[in-house]
Amino acid sequence: MRTPLQTALLEIRSCLGEASIHTDPETVERLSRCTLPLPNRAAAFVYPSSIDEIQQLLIIANRHRVPVWPCSQGRNWGYGSANPFLEGSIVMVLARLNHILEVNETLAYAVIEPGVTYRQLNAHLKSQGDKLWADCTDGPPDGSVLGNALERGIGETPYGDHFGNLCGLEIVLPSGEVIHTGGGPPGSKTWHTHKWGIGPYLEGLFSQSNFGVVTKAGVWLMPRPEAYNSFVFQLSWAKDFGRVLDVLRALALQRVLPTTIHMINAFVSLAVLTRYPFHLLQDQTFLPEEVIARLQQEYGVAPWTFSTGLYGTRAQVRVNRAIVKKALKPYGRLEFLDDRKVRWVSQVVPWLKRAQSYPLLAPLSRWVVRGGLRSSLALFDAVPYIHGILKGIPTEYFVRHAYFKSNHPRPDQDVHPARDSCGLFWFAPILPFTGQAVSEFLNVAQGLFHEQGFDLYVALLVMNPRSIVALMAILYRKEDAAETHRASVLYERLCALVLSEGYQQYRAAMPAWRGLFDQAPGFLKLCDTLKSAVDPNNIMAPGHYGIGLSHVRPHKDTQ
Ligand code: ADP
């Protein structure tokens, strides 16, 4: 006799067609790969191509009570990739719903489907005359714009609060019913321009949750500014770290600096620029301070570095540049970049690189880079990517950091850490934007990293002028069972630390979901009550962010 799952898969196959479903174990294993330890095995990967097919799929799932795990591109690396929380779920990938339905130049927004990627949106806007810029992350260019926004991801430009810049959602509820947020009549002319609609604001319910599948959304875009400068700041002395954060907060509160500044420690810079120097480890499994200091010298890397952009009219950029210079100059080195300078760097770097392989020219090349430009070639290489991403041009350049400790050769293209078995957890507590709060938390976190034998990898992402995300990566080698275990223990301890310090995470990886709201039972109860109302059979992404776990029954039945 067939199990409910087997019957459901047969029905889905007959509705959507053979080409839209993968159930063979090898393909399912490949698609399930995840940078976290021990991925949960999905039963199938299904690729609907229309709302009608999504509805049919959900009706079948309800009929047979089988869980469905929606994702847009499934590149949520470090948090869970395309991996379902429950074994035996049907993963519904929305990559084929990839239309850019509208670009409104006057009101600066686009309407897109979930399969639209950063690369695609950026290329489309360029082909339309480059009048609007879309934000992107420093993650995968082929990640989904909507998938990241629904997880409340953070980008690079003043439009970097991705969920904050969504406006007007179309949603298929678990029952298969389609709704539009905003409370207006269908096709309301301000659906994508007025975020709050009329009546209760419901859009937040569909982010970091499991109440529906988002099939369309308005995304606000930045009109290309008259002037744009990026700049890189390198802190001279680690002791000034807290003071510089306070300066940045003041500049962000005054709106001199856009938010979404990313400030990285020396270890992150090294992870982007090179491979892990295992040969320099001494009697421990993380790099001693003096080794990091030596590598900093070699690569021209500061204890902390950040880059951001200045956008506006020529006059605004000129004034803000002068304010930034005055505020930050006492603490480190500032390098302003514009399109012309970046073009020059892009032309010169290949020459300098080539010169290094000729014995007579190598010293000259080294002198130009070290003496004249006070930098390293590796750092120079990064300049065009830094300048580009701050205009929303996606790149694979930064994602390569996930291969820092991996045996796998670091690819220049088609970067895919989940496929290539890289080990990566993201841990992302949100902290008040003060030098003192951030320094105190990082000191304790560093103790936990070292206790478990890992280097502290931290990028501070300015979420808004009042809060900062301390985004930490645990990079581990999956083939080393002991290291993998230590990585899981470290992640668990960090999650506990956040709560004991009175903070919370801004976004959480799958292993954290079970206990995420242990200290907020009333909040969880309300979420579960809403879940029962919209999804009585608990078929949609049960367990996502801990919601719907109270009525989960084990879905272990396999084909
Ligand atoms: P990306 O490829 O941009 O990293 P994903 O497609 O992996 O994004 O999405 C991240 C998470 O967001 C998914 O695991 C899922 O929980 C949720 N999600 C993504 N897209 C949708 C959607 N269209 N509707 C509902 N939830 C979604």
- Structure confidence at residue 374 (pLDDT): 63
How many Å apart are CA 61 and CA 43, to the nearest integer?
Answer: 13
Question: Can you list the alpha helix ranges (DSSP code H) found in 17-115?
Answer: 25-32, 51-64
Is 321:310 a contact under the CB 8 Å cutoff? yes
Q: What is the pTM of this model?
A: 0.94
- Structure confidence at residue 375 (pLDDT): 67
Q: What sign for the dihedral angle of Cα 411, 36, 212, 195?
A: negative
376 lines ligand 1 (CB under 6 A): no
- Structure confidence at residue 553 (pLDDT): 52
DSSP track, 110-158: EEE-TT-BHHHHHHHHHHTTS-EE----SS-TTSBHHHHHHTT-B-SST
Count of beta carbons in the 10 Å neighbourhood of residue 509: 22
150 lines ligand 1 (CB under 6 A): yes
Is 149:141 a contact under the CB 8 Å cutoff? no
Q: Residues 339, 311, 230, CA angle at the centre, nearest 5°? A: 45
CB half-sphere exposure, 153, CA atoms < 13 A: 26
Residue 368 CA: distances (Å) to CA of 211, 362, 448: 57, 10, 41
Q: Whose CA is nearest to atom 8 of ligand 1?
A: 147
Ligand 1 centroid from CA 156, angstroms: 19
What single-letter amino acid sits at 31? Answer: L
How many Å apart are CA 464 and CA 453, to the nearest integer?
Answer: 32
| pLDDT tens-digit readout, 300-342 | 899 999 999 999 999 999 999 999 999 999 999 999 999 999 9
147 lines ligand 1 (CB under 6 A): yes
- Structure confidence at residue 558 (pLDDT): 40
Q: What sign for the dihedral angle of Cα 337, 340, 346, 347?
A: negative
| pLDDT tens-digit readout, 9-64 | 999 999 999 999 999 999 999 999 999 997 788 999 999 999 999 999 999 999 99
Ligand 1 atom showing the smallest separation from residue 171 Cα: 24
74 lines ligand 1 (CB under 6 A): yes
Is 93:71 a contact under the CB 8 Å cutoff? yes
Q: Whose CA is nearest to atom 9 of ligand 1?
A: 147
- Structure confidence at residue 244 (pLDDT): 98
Q: What sign for the dihedral angle of Cα 133, 135, 136, 138?
A: positive
Q: Whose CA is nearest to atom 16 of ligand 1?
A: 71
Ligand 1 atom showing the smallest separation from residue 77 Cα: 4
DSSP track, 406-436: -SS---SSS--TTTTT-EEEEEEEEEES-HH
pLDDT in 10s for each residue of the chain, 559 residues: 899 999 999 999 999 999 999 999 999 999 999 999 977 889 999 999 999 999 999 999 999 999 999 999 999 999 999 999 999 999 999 999 999 999 999 999 999 999 999 999 999 999 999 999 999 999 999 999 999 999 999 999 999 999 999 999 999 999 999 999 999 998 899 999 999 999 999 999 999 999 999 999 999 999 999 999 999 999 999 999 999 999 999 999 999 998 789 999 999 999 999 999 999 998 899 999 999 999 999 888 999 999 999 999 999 999 999 999 999 999 999 999 999 999 988 888 888 878 877 877 777 777 777 665 566 777 788 999 999 999 999 999 999 999 999 999 999 899 999 999 999 999 999 999 999 999 999 999 999 999 999 999 999 999 899 999 999 999 999 999 999 999 999 999 999 999 999 999 999 999 999 999 999 999 999 999 999 999 999 999 999 999 999 766 544 444 3
- Structure confidence at residue 559 (pLDDT): 39
How many Å apart are CA 475 and CA 286, to the nearest integer?
Answer: 11
- Structure confidence at residue 365 (pLDDT): 73
- Structure confidence at residue 371 (pLDDT): 63
Mean pLDDT of the chain: 94
544 lines ligand 1 (CB under 6 A): yes
Ligand 1 centroid from CA 466, angstroms: 27
